[in-house]
Amino acid sequence: MTDTLTSFPLLSFPSRLAAEEALAAALEAGVRDAHAEGRRARIALSGGSSPEPAYRAFADKDLDWSRVDIALVDDRWVEVDQAGSNQAMIERAFASATGVSIFGMKLPSASPKQAEAELDVVYHALRPFDAIVLGMGPDAHTASWFPASPDLAACLDAHNRATVLGVDASLAPVAAPYPVRMTVTLPVVAEALQVLILLFGTDKKQVLQEALDAPVTIAPIKAAIEATGARCVALWAE
């Protein structure tokens, strides 16, 4: 079922399982389209607990995973073996996808700012992505684009040539206890062939509705929606 939030369509599903299966199917279609064109498929995924079952369902698809690259949309600046690592979740979810290549964001550098140049080379080689999966926090942030961050303007700069940026999210309560982040920038999302936003719960639906009428500085998720237009789809279930 398709609901309308102001001018933005939202696909509503009868259960979270149904939404997860729809997300997995959309990602599978993106991979198959890339392979049909004779090229590697490139996907960028967000972390968090909500999308992990969908990722597991996607990983169980019968695909040539040796021709699939998976990158992260953002990550906390923690080691992969520590709590809070998005990369660790992605690696768990894709344990059954034999041959898949996963590109993490956490480098040996002391800080995200020091790692930007090295990681920028990696992401420049991967873009454009066939599909990007985004989530949304209760403050209408997506990726690591936080309303209170001093780095938000750079993240949302449509002319920024950087693919990734280190982020200080110490002023954003929802980022605690991991205020130091690495994230892709808006131009990376804007050029993706498909952007999928996974949302659960009435509260998140309301946040998205309000975000559509707010400035991007207050509701960064709106920047992704405006930049991608019809290529952006939200999948929601209670």
Q: Is residue 2 part of a domain?
A: no
Q: Is residue 1 part of a domain?
A: no
Report pTM.
0.96
CATH number for the domain harbouring residue 31: 3.40.50.1360
CA angle 164, 168, 170 (to 5 degrees): 150
Residue 19, both tokens: 């939404």
Q: Is residue 107 part of a domain?
A: yes
Q: Is residue 91 part of a domain?
A: yes
**Domain, as residue range, for 170:** 7-237
Strand order from edge to edge, sheet including 131-134? 2-5, 8-13, 232-237, 195-200, 131-134, 41-45, 68-72, 101-103
Q: Is residue 193 part of a domain?
A: yes
Q: Is residue 14 part of a domain?
A: yes
Q: Is residue 30 part of a domain?
A: yes
Q: What's phi and psi for 10, nearest 5 deg?
A: -130, 125
- Tally the domains of the chain: 1
Count CA within 13 A, CB hemisphere, residue 22: 20
Count CA within 13 A, CB hemisphere, residue 196: 27
| CA nearest to 93, candidates 136, 40, 52, 143 | 52
Q: Is residue 173 part of a domain?
A: yes
Q: Return per-residue pLDDT of the chain as tens, 238 residues.
A: 556 565 678 999 999 999 999 999 999 999 999 999 999 999 999 998 899 999 999 999 999 999 999 999 999 999 999 989 999 999 999 999 999 999 999 999 999 999 999 999 999 999 999 999 999 999 999 999 999 999 999 999 999 999 999 999 999 999 999 999 999 999 999 999 999 999 999 999 999 999 999 999 999 999 999 999 999 999 999 9
